[in-house]
A = this chain, B = another copy of it.
């Protein structure tokens, strides 16, 4: 079971929507739509993806990291290290 299993449907719906938005951007490029309008969509999709990432971080912390911490110091420390690397990638993307 993943930390986000409880809210899986919501993430699936949001990802399907983002997939459609990316397809929409490809169509805009295909139709030579004005650059600024394409850029506006790219920023919107980037934010939507970020929001999914932020949600998954919270789920992961609230389930996987907390459960590991409660089972042992070592497991907790390993999960924190791993989560922090994922958070760093998200911040830097």
Q: Chain A residues in contact with chain B, CB under 8 A?
A: 1-5, 8, 11-12, 15-16, 18-19, 22-23, 25-26, 29-30, 32-36, 38-40, 42-47, 49-50, 52-54, 56-62, 64-66, 69-70, 73, 76-77, 80-84, 86-93
Please name all residues of chain B whose beta carbon is closer than 8 Å to the beta carbon of A44 when the two chains form the complex: 93
Please name all residues of chain B whose beta carbon is closer than 8 Å to the beta carbon of A69 when the two chains form the complex: 65-66, 69-70, 76
Please name all residues of chain B whose beta carbon is closer than 8 Å to the beta carbon of A91 when the two chains form the complex: 50, 53-54, 87, 90-91
Which of A8, A39, A65: most chain B Cβ within 10 A? Answer: A39
Beyond A30-B8, A80-B62, whether A90 also contacts B22 by CB under 8 A is no
